C-alpha cells in the first residue's frame, strides 16, 4: 500500500503544469461583506464556510429557557436563532438580533422503559450522542457532521443515510417553541397537531425551538466497512446494498473513476479500530494538490488516482453508533444537495458526473450519495417518497456558482427537492409545486408569527411574504 505522501511524490515527478485559475481563490464572502458592511463598526457574523455574512447589531446567548423567553419578547427587529452556522443559505442572516442557543444544552429527562428523552435544542450532536449513550439510549440514525445543534438539524430536515431510516425530525415525539411574544408552546401529534407538522421542519420561521422530545432506541454498536471500488462497480450494486445494509452510502472522487462505499450494520462485536484509517480531511487536501498539479490533464490526473486507490485496503471498525455516524469536517466547502425519487437518483448521478468531468476540471471535492426513507412531514424533502440524496461541493475559497448552476437543472429535471440548509435557486412558486402542504405551512407560520419577527429577507423571499 502506498501512502498519500508517496502519491504526491509520484504526481510531482510527472510533467506538471498547474491548472490555470484552479487554485486561485475567489473571495465571494469577502466581496459580499464589502458591499453589505454598515457604517458602524459592527463585528460581522459568518456561517461555517464564510459564504454568508451578516452584521447583527445585537448578539444574545441566554443561559436558560426563562432568559430566552424574556429576550425574545423584548427583542427589537428580526430575531434569528443560530447554532453551528452549517447552513449555506442565508437562513440565519440578520442585521438585528442573532440569538445563540449554545448556553442552553443538555439532557433534561429520559425514560429508558420507552427509550424517550428530552433535550435542550441548543445541544450539539456530538454532545447529544454521548449524553444519550451514558443513559443507555441512542438516536436511531444521525447525520455526519458533529457540530450541528439539534435545533438546526431538526429545523432543516438534516439526515443521515439508510434506505429504511428517515431524516432526523422523524424521531421527534414533541417540540417546545418560544413564540414572538415569549410564550412557551408545546406541540405533538395530539396536541396542536398542525403546529407539530409544521414545526418538525420549520426553518426557524415559527419561533425559537427550545426543547425536543425524542423517540430513541437502546444504545447500539455499528460495524463499519469502508471499501474502495471502481465507480461502475459501485453503481451496479449500490441499490441492492442500500437494501441489504442498515446504513449505506458511497462517495465518488471526480476524474478518478473510483469511489468508496460506506456500509454499517448493528453488531454485538467488541469495539475495534481499523489499522488503516482514512482521514477524510487529509484526503480532500490530497485531491486538491492533485488538481493543482495535474488538472491540465484529466487523463494523467485519473491515472495517478487510479494507481493510488486500487491499492487502498478495506477498513473495518466497531464503535458506538454516535461515534460512527458523526465526524468533524475540518475542510470548509460550499454545498448543493438535492433529494431525488429513489428510482431516479443514480440516473441523475451519471449525468452530473458527465457534466462535471466535461466542463469543470477545477472541481476536486467528492460527491456524496445517500439513501433516505419517506416520511409524512409537511416540509420534509422526503415527504411521501423514498429518496437518493446527492451532494456536490466546492472548496470554500473557490467560486461554486458556475458548477452549481450547471448541475441544478439536472436535479430539478429528475424531480429533486433541495436540502433546506444548502444552496439552491428555488423560489416560492417552484417550492409550492414540490410540497403539497406548502400553503398549510404558510398558514401556520402566519398564525404563529403574524408580524414576521422571525423572518429575515431570505425567508420573506422564500415564502413569498
List Cα–Cα distances, 274 to 223, 230, 280, 320, 328, in angstroms.
Answer: 11, 22, 14, 14, 18
Q: Give the C-alpha distances (Å, rounded to integers) separating 105 from 111, 145, 205, 442.
A: 19, 18, 21, 29
- Mean pLDDT across the chain: 91
CA–CA separation, 379 and 440 (whole Å): 10
pLDDT number for residue 248: 98
Superfamily of domain 221-418: FAD-linked oxidases, C-terminal domain (3.40.462.10)
- What is the structure's pLDDT at 99? 97
Q: For the residues 252-280, what does the mean pLDDT come to? A: 89
The answer to whether the CB of 137 falls within 8 A of the CB of 219 is: yes
User: Distance between terminal CA atoms of the chain?
Assistant: 58
Hey, which bits of 358-460 come out as E strands? 367-372, 387-395, 417-418
Q: What percent of the chain has pLDDT over 90?
A: 80
Chain mean position to CA 201: 14
DSSP secondary structure code for residue 228 in this structure:
E
Q: How confident is the model at residue 28 (pLDDT cuts 50, 70, 90)?
A: very low
| Helix, strand, coil percentages for the chain (3-state, nearest 5) | 35, 25, 40
- The pLDDT, as a whole number, for residue 307 is 87
Report domain extents, the chain: 28-100, 107-218, 221-418
CB 381, CB 395: distance < 8 Å: no
C-alpha cell at 371: 439513501
Residue 12 has pLDDT above 60, yes or no: no
Q: At what angle do helices 193-200 and 438-448 cross, to 10 degrees?
A: 110
Please state which of the four CATH numbers 3.40.50.300, 3.30.43.10, 1.20.1260.10, 3.40.50.10800 is assigned to the domain occupying 28-100.
Answer: 3.30.43.10
Taking only the tens place, the pLDDT of each residue in 358-398 is 999 999 999 999 999 999 999 999 999 999 999 999 999 99
- Show the beta-strand stretches assigned E in 288-356: 315-320, 333-341
Give the pLDDT confidence score for residue 274 in this predicted structure. Answer: 77
| pLDDT band, very low/low/confident/very high, at 326 (cuts 50, 70, 90) | confident
Closest CA to 233 of 252, 205, 210, 255: 252
Architecture of domain 107-218 in CATH?
A: 2-Layer Sandwich (3.30)
Work out the percent of the chain whose per-residue pLDDT is above 70: 90
Q: CA dihedral defined by 168, 169, 171, 177, rounded to 10 degrees?
A: 130
Q: Write down the pLDDT at residue 7.
A: 56
> Distance from CA of residue 1 to its chain's centroid?
33
**Angle in degrees, 0-180, between the axes of helices 280-294 and 4-13, rounded to the nearest 10:** 0
E strand residue ranges, 68-155 = 79-82, 97-100, 107-111, 116-120, 137-138
pTM: 0.92
Distance of CA 248 to CAs 143, 161, 163, 434, 449, Å? 12, 6, 8, 26, 40
Neighbours of 144 (CB within 10 A): 20
Amino acid at each position: 500500500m502506498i501512502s498519500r505522501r508517496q502519491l504526491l511524490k509520484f504526481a510531482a515527478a510527472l510533467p506538471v503544469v498547474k491548472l490555470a485559475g484552479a487554485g486561485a481563490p475567489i473571495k465571494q464572502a469577502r466581496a459580499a461583506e464589502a458591499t453589505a458592511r454598515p457604517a458602524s463598526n459592527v463585528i460581522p457574523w459568518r456561517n461555517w464556510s464564510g459564504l454568508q455574512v451578516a452584521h447583527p447589531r445585537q448578539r444574545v446567548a441566554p443561559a436558560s429557557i426563562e432568559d430566552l423567553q424574556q429576550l425574545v419578547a423584548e427583542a427589537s427587529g428580526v430575531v434569528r436563532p443560530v447554532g453551528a452556522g452549517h447552513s449555506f443559505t442565508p437562513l440565519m442572516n440578520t442585521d438585528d438580533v442573532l440569538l445563540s442557543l449554545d448556553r442552553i444544552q443538555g439532557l433534561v429527562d429520559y425514560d429508558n422503559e420507552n427509550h424517550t428523552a428530552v433535550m435542550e435544542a441548543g445541544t450539539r450532536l456530538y454532545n447529544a450522542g454521548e449524553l444519550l449513550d451514558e443513559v443507555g439510549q441512542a438516536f436511531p440514525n444521525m447525520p455526519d457532521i458533529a457540530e450541528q445543534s439539534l435545533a438546526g438539524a431538526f429545523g432543516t430536515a438534516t439526515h443521515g443515510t439508510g434506505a429504511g431510516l428517515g431524516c432526523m425530525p422523524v424521531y421527534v415525539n414533541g417540540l417546545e417553541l418560544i413564540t414572538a411574544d415569549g410564550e412557551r408552546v408545546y406541540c405533538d401529534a395530539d396536541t396542536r397537531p398542525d403546529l407539530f407538522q409544521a414545526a418538525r421542519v420549520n426553518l426557524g420561521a415559527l419561533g425559537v425551538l427550545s426543547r425536543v422530545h425524542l423517540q430513541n432506541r437502546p444504545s447500539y454498536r455499528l460495524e463499519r466497512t469502508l471499501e474502495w471500488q471502481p465507480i461502475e462497480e459501485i453503481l451496479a450494486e449500490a441499490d441492492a446494498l442500500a437494501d441489504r445494509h442498515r446504513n449505506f452510502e458511497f462517495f465518488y472522487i471526480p476524474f478518478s473513476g473510483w469511489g468508496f462505499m460506506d456500509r454499517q450494520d448493528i453488531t454485538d462485536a467488541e469495539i475495534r479500530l481499523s489499522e488503516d484509517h482514512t482521514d477524510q480531511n487529509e484526503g480532500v487536501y490530497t485531491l486538491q494538490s492533485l488538481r493543482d498539479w495535474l488538472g491540465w490533464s484529466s487523463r494523467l490526473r485519473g491515472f495517478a488516482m487510479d494507481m493510488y486507490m486500487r491499492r487502498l485496503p478495506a477498513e473495518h471498525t466497531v464503535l458506538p453508533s454516535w461515534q460512527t455516524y458523526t465526524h468533524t469536517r475540518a475542510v470548509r466547502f460550499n454545498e448543493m444537495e438535492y433529494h431525488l425519487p429513489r428510482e431516479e437518483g443514480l440516473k441523475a448521478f451519471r449525468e452530473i458526473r458527465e457534466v462535471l468531468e466535461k466542463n469543470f476540471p477545477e472541481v476536486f471535492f467528492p460527491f456524496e450519495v445517500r439513501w433516505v426513507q419517506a416520511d409524512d412531514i409537511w416540509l420534509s424533502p422526503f415527504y411521501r417518497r423514498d429518496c437518493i440524496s446527492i451532494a456536490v461541493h466546492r472548496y470554500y475559497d473557490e467560486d461554486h456558482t458556475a458548477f452549481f448552476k450547471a448541475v441544478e437543472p439536472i436535479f430539478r429535471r429528475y424531480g429533486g427537492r433541495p436540502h433546506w440548509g444548502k444552496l439552491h435557486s428555488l423560489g416560492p412558486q417552484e417550492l409550492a409545486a414540490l410540497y403539497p402542504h406548502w400553503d398549510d405551512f404558510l398558514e401556520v407560520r402566519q398564525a404563529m408569527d403574524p408580524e414576521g419577527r422571525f423572518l429575515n429577507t431570505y425567508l420573506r423571499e422564500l415564502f413569498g411574504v
